[in-house]
Structure 1
Amino acid sequence: MSAKAIPNWEISGYVEYIKSGHKQGDMLLIVPEGAFAVRLGNEALIKQKIEVVKGDFYSLTFSTARTCAQEERLNVSVSPNNEKNDFGLFPIQTMYSSNGWDSYAWAFQADAHVIEISIHNPGVEEDAACGPLIDSVALKTLYNPKRTRANLLKNGNFEEGPYIFPRPTSEGVIIPPHIEDDHSPLPGWIIESLKAIKYIDSEHFSVPKGKRAIELIAGKESAVAQIVKTTIGRNYVLSFLVGDANNGCEGPMVVEAFAGKNTVKVSYNSKGKGGFKAARLAFRAESTRTRIMFYSTFYAMKSDNSGSLCGPVLDDVKLLSVRKLHHL
């Protein structure tokens, strides 16, 4: 294919234009949205220039699927970029969805009025045609939520986050680990674990409150945290909702919540059909900065035999200062 073969995109390396239903050996390649996708072979790259607002934060959502290579990964970057090594490297050998396609999110701050977004396969396989498939790509402006008197946490209801594709088969958006706070696709929160979390919406899942929530899909390796300013000796209450996403994730679940050295375990027995319960953790601050963190105690898998990881849903997280703990 020539460098300009795909409208609005520039390509280089071994790029294939794949039609849904294309057969590769014994594998049938399905495209989740529309009829076509691209496959990035060895050292292949697609990129596009976009006008943005300099200084604003953006999240990029893209759908990808693994084909024949086991160690497939994608490198997502933006230029110009004033920060060295500011790129996203996505290992995609773990598939989180039931249909083989996952949507991922990555965030950045625009350093110019015109930027170039690149998606690159850095792999070198024996078969040059092996490589991940890329389908839908979307860019969304991220707004920085503020702390309020009603909630000392930023974005505690998770309403601000990456774009979720509206297709009927949407399985949410994977937010990878080790993303720093100021460039998180989930503003205010740090994914400080080894594995990803999933961002879900009320159009496709059961969400306890509002339109967005997160699903803790990888046990203790799937943790989300936020550091908040507190006053030493003052009393606080952390409240939150725990439930399931109505996605066939069944069985006993436990969410562990932490506020500094204080912790609570919240049990939830999921029938996989939606529902939630309220929980809270009261504590007295011992520092001027308190780390609020959540993770799921156990791993869970969907009951559809897909082997897809799932877990408890977390939503409506609030932190309030109170006068006396025993009045609660």
Structure 2
Amino acid sequence: MTSHNEILDAALAKITTGYVFPELTGPITEAIRARQAEGGYDGLGDAEFCAAVTADLQAVCPDKHLRLMWSEEPAPVEEEDSPEEEKARWLVRYREGNFGIARVERLEGNVGYLDIRSIPDADAGTDAIGAAMQLVAHTEALVIDLRQCRGGSPNGVALWCSHFFGDDEVHLNDIYERATDATRQYWTYPHTPGPRYLDRPVTILTAAFTFSGGEELAYNLQALKRATLVGETTRGGAHPTDWIAITPHIAVTVPAARSINPVTGTNWEGVGVKPDVEAKAEDALETALALLAAE
């Protein structure tokens, strides 16, 4: 059985070598080691231990992706998957979640509605995303509900965004990666699996729960003035993250990259994506439909 001290050693090693802001890894290590030395983690169960370490990590560095995670369901602890194995494992998850698409509807007033809970990799999700866009293609306005979206793939975000612009010359986002010391640009795709949704209003619903890739989708379309955001300020996680299992039940999540929006020059880390029209999450759809009806 892996001790809590061994788990801390492994987690801090991964943070030191992988965190996108290397200048912060020293203060992070010092704070965790000080807490460990004073007995701050003694006598805790695994779930409580992970919560305590996460709180201490975020007290030093308020990065919502930087966490020690406990899971009731065991996960395999492997040195490293091959790209093919990792792709296959994610494909199973995407299929189990219907590629993140929970509902597609046509609401009263010929308003399309998409309930998106997660965002798959573009290659895996292309057919599902195309089918969803086909079903709302002839509506007069579109509501994209991201209130329960927990995140997803940057290239999947780019694929969703591509349906709302006329060509492949729209610069959506940049992501800087520490491991390669390189910045990757994300642009709209020249071809989309579903029909493009142009010259009609798009409204995005947000909640305090909305996170990561869901936030990027909202942020990109808001920055480019292609969508109106209605709801609550989102959670504020803008750093693509590596998930590394330390034991079958405990993993460390390490932000290995950071987003840089080409319009704003920054991102939503720590501050969230702020809506254009504030509303309680449970009232956001009603508010959005009233705004669309008044146009």
Same fold (TM over 0.5): no
- The normalised TM-score by structure 2 is 0.28
Structure number with higher strand proportion: 1
Say which structure, 1 or 2, has more relative contact order (CA 8 Å, 6+ apart). 2
Structure number with higher helix proportion: 2
- The normalised TM-score by structure 1 is 0.26
